[in-house]
Amino acid sequence: MSNSIQFKNHPFRFLLYLEWALLTIAILSSLAPTPWIRRSQDFPELTICSLIIFGLMGLRLPKNNQLSKIIYTACELCLILITIFFGGRASRLFPFIYLILVTRSCLIFKLPGRLVVTSLSFSLFLFTIFRKFNKFPVSPVAQERFKFFTLSFVVLFALALIFVLLLMNTIVSERQSREKLAAANQKLKQYAIKVEYQATLEERNRIAREIHDSLGHSLTALNLQLETALKLSQSNPVKAHDFLARAKELGSKALQDVRQSVSALRLHPWQGESLEQAIVILMEDVERATSVQPQYVINLTVPLSSELSIAIYRIIQESLTNICKYANATKINLELLIVNSELHLKIQDNGAGFDLNQNTKGFGLHSMRERTEALGGKFNIETSPRQGCTIQVIIGQT
């Protein structure tokens, strides 16, 4: 990160162009003839050099070191003092320099420093006004008019300084806010990528475990059944037929496991069907796998978003998978309702249950809870050994 504001990384490059235009006017004014100023008090060469140096200083502004900022501003003030004492004819347009000084201070200082530099600029302006105007011969008749003109000019310049200060504060604050927002968005994108990668990795690990535990077990058992049937095919054909029948059942189960794994990998597992139809298909799969006919009530009075539909489907799918594998239940009830603009999901079984204190790290429960909380919902599970299990999900509709 650069320690200074340079031309290539200047946040408001148009300010540099404006500075150069104003300083060019000031340089030209130092060469313009003014009859009432004595030539002996005018040093245009020194004035022009000071203005050129002042302009070149705008190409590099200190950014981090506080001492460098103070020294930089002190050098600017010294150059302004040179123009005050030796500027002569150019003093008429030197208020431009004070405005430039204020705009630069807004880029390098925080608010207290900006106020100090603005006060110094106004003080130097007053010093210049009274120093130069006191030299003008004014008749007593025009003295009051001259005082009124001077006061009006001072008030006008004070308002100009305040306007420039407020304008620059607004511009700088808005830019800083946009930079912070851009940095926050970048961090959010990086975090989202990490979360997506972690979620994908966990999902792949879960699918791998599912394939290993279900499909791998079924294929191993299938292989053993076929080997036994092969050995008995000559000596005991009837017994071999039983082993072949069992092998066919294991093959069907393996095929079902493959289909479930493929369905779990799909973004929209119910391709071309409604959420209600997809849930009904899950219930039918449960009935075929457990010979238990689930009872369900589905009443969705409003359409659900794609994100919410997928989350609900995955929660139901994971719950029913766990029931089929571990619960040995004889009753399964499911309710999916819209109540007072909230989505209520309840899945209940009378199976083996489990001890929550010993099953807090299971990927399935963890995944269901994360899906619910990601949508701003509440996830609750009630279970104990031999007392069945009840899962409740409540998600507010938006």
Please list the residues that pair with 347 across neighbouring strands. 334, 391
Q: Are 359 and 324 in contact (CB under 8 A)?
A: no
From CA 168, how far away is CA 104, in angstroms rounded? Answer: 9
Please list the residues that pair with 395 across neighbouring strands. 343
Select from 312, 295, 319, 293 the least CA-distant residue to 390: 319
189 contact partners, CB below 8 Å, separation of at least 6: none
DSSP string computed for 252-315: HHHHHHHHHHHHHH-SSTTTTS-HHHHHHHHHHHHHHHHS---EEEEE--SPPPHHHHHHHHHH
CB atoms near residue 9 (< 10 Å): 11
Domains, the chain, ranges and CATH?
4-137 (no CATH), 273-398 (3.30.565.10)
Write down the pLDDT at residue 141: 59
**Token pair recorded at residue 370:** 């994360």
Write down the pLDDT at residue 37: 47
pLDDT by 10s per residue, the chain, length 398:
456 676 676 677 777 787 788 777 777 766 665 554 444 445 667 777 888 888 888 888 887 788 888 898 898 888 888 877 776 554 555 577 888 888 888 888 888 888 998 899 888 888 877 766 655 555 665 666 767 777 888 888 889 889 888 988 888 888 888 889 988 988 888 888 888 788 777 777 767 766 766 677 677 778 888 888 888 888 888 888 888 888 888 788 777 777 766 766 665 666 667 889 889 988 988 888 788 899 999 998 888 888 888 889 889 988 988 888 888 899 999 999 998 889 999 999 999 888 887 765 566 788 888 889 888 899 999 998 889 999 999 998 65
From CA 105, how far away is CA 117, in angstroms rounded? Answer: 7
Amino acid symbol at 169: N
Helical residues (DSSP H) of 211-236, grouped into ranges: 217-235
373 contact partners, CB below 8 Å, separation of at least 6: 379
Largest CA distance in the chain: 141
The pTM for the full model equals 0.47
Assign 77 to helix, strand or coil.
helix
Select from 254, 220, 377 the least CA-distant residue to 308: 377
